[in-house]
């Protein structure tokens, strides 16, 4: 009897241990990745590195243009993606009936947008924004002169906005759902119209959700490279992008280019680690802020 019990416990110990070990392996890989990149990039992580241009054929110097390009792209992307995402989320929670065909197909479309490989967005940006819209704009306004029908920061940002749209929609929807039904009903009962209720009651209550969505979208957009590979990222630019029709440098693309396409990979190794560390810290801090915000929203729902 005791032996049997021990056997069972041993088995239980083994299987429970198996699951624990799996979780630990994942965490360990994450930590190792962080530690290695931090150690490798620590020496490069200086103010000078962040604020100076690359020099000597990109083997020396800083990453300022890449940082600036990423920031600019992310801002334009947010301007495009956030209003869209918020409005779609409002429709899904406030207007659409839960199980109507329209609501379900919009949800399906959003989820599909979320799983489409990022490279497809790049192809779409090339085929739609650059070749269709851009070339069309050129022949309509520029008299056939080439201005918009080529990769630039506007097309890259819009492509990225499409990619990050589901992120915004999902977080805002989650936040809108935490607003108690009673608040809406009270507002309607006081004579406010539906739109007034949404604008004065629902939206102010969901600011933290909109913030979370924006932050997550920004962190996703800052890290993605595939969509901007052929819609606007440039290998090296001597000047910062001055207008929407300029190309730009981006952190992720910089890492990719330096590690795989550069002639002297070993020589630029510190820069690669430094750039990776900067990108990692950027996305990480944004993600941590978003996780904390989301945690607070969830707590509100329980309370």
239 binds another protein (CB under 8 A): no
Q: How far is the CB of 42 from another protein (least distance, A)?
A: 15
Q: Which is nearer to another protein, 20 or 186 (CB)?
A: 20
Binding-site string for another protein from residue 273 to residue 302, where x marks contact by CB under 8 A and - marks none: x--x--xx--xx-xxx--x-----------
Stretch of residues binding another protein (CB under 8 A), selected from 71-79, 171-179, 187-195, 204-212? 187-195
Binding-site string for another protein from residue 108 to residue 147, where x marks contact by CB under 8 A and - marks none: xxxxxx-xxxxxxxxxx-xxx--xx--x--xx----x-x-
CB atoms within 10 A of CB 138: 17
Q: How far is the CB of 205 from another protein (least distance, A)?
A: 17
Interface residues for another protein in 30-49 (CB under 8 A)? Answer: 30, 33, 36-37, 40
Stretch of residues binding another protein (CB under 8 A), selected from 45-53, 174-182, 200-208, 247-255? 247-255
- β-pair type (54-55, 60-61): antiparallel
Q: How far is the CB of 245 from another protein (least distance, A)?
A: 12
Q: Is 145 exposed, middle or buried (0-12, 13-18, 19+ CB in 10 A)?
A: exposed
d(CA 233, CA 82): 22
Interface residues for another protein in 205-224 (CB under 8 A)? Answer: 216, 219-220, 222-224
Shortest CA distance to 297 belongs to which of 208, 200, 218, 198?
A: 208
Torsion of CA 175, 179, 181, 185, to 10 degrees: -120
Q: How far is the CB of 272 from another protein (least distance, A)?
A: 7
What angle is formed at CA 223 by the lines to CA 219 and CA 224, rounded to 5 degrees? 115
Stretch of residues binding another protein (CB under 8 A), selected from 71-79, 180-188, 201-209, 260-268? 260-268
d(CA 252, CA 278): 10
Q: How far is the CB of 181 from another protein (least distance, A)?
A: 19
Q: Which is nearer to another protein, 64 or 124 (CB)?
A: 124
SS (H, E, C) 52-66: CCEECCCCEECCHHH
Q: How far is the CB of 178 from another protein (least distance, A)?
A: 18
d(CA 264, CA 262): 6
Interface residues for another protein in 146-185 (CB under 8 A)? Answer: 146, 149-151, 162, 165, 169
- Identify each DSSP E strand in 8-135 by its residue range: 54-55, 60-61
């Amino acid at each position: 009897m005791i032996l049997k019990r021990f056997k069972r416990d041993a088995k239980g110990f083994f299987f429970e241990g198996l699951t624990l070990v799996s979780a630990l392996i994942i965490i360990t890989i994450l930590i190792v990745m962080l530690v290695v990149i931090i150690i490798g990039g620590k020496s490069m992580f200086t103010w000078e590195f962040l604020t100076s241009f690359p020099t000597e054929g990109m083997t020396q110097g800083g990453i300022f243009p890449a940082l600036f390009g990423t920031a600019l792209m992310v801002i334009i992307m947010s301007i495009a993606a956030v209003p869209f995402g918020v409005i779609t989320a409002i429709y899904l929670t406030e207007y659409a009936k839960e199980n109507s065909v329209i609501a379900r197909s919009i949800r399906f479309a959003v989820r599909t947008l979320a799983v489409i490989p990022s490279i497809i967005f790049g192809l779409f940006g090339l085929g739609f924004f650059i070749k269709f819209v851009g070339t069309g704009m050129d022949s309509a306004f520029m008299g056939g002169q080439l201005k918009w029908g080529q990769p630039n920061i506007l097309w890259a940002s819009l492509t990225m906005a499409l990619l990050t749209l589901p992120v915004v929609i999902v977080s805002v929807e989650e936040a809108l759902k935490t607003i108690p039904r009673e608040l809406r009903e009270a507002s309607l009962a006081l004579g406010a119209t539906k739109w007034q209720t949404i604008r004065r009651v629902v939206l102010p209550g969901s600011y933290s959700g909109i913030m979370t969505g924006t932050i997550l979208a920004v962190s996703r957009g800052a890290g993605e490279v595939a969509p901007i590979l052929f819609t606007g990222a440039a290998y090296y630019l001597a000047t910062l992008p001055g207008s929407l029709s300029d190309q730009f440098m981006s952190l992720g693309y910089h890492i990719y280019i330096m590690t795989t396409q550069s002639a002297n990979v070993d020589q630029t190794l510190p820069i690669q680690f430094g750039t990776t560390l900067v990108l990692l810290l950027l996305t990480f801090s944004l993600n941590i802020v978003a996780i904390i915000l989301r945690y607070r929203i969830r707590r509100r729902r329980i309370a």
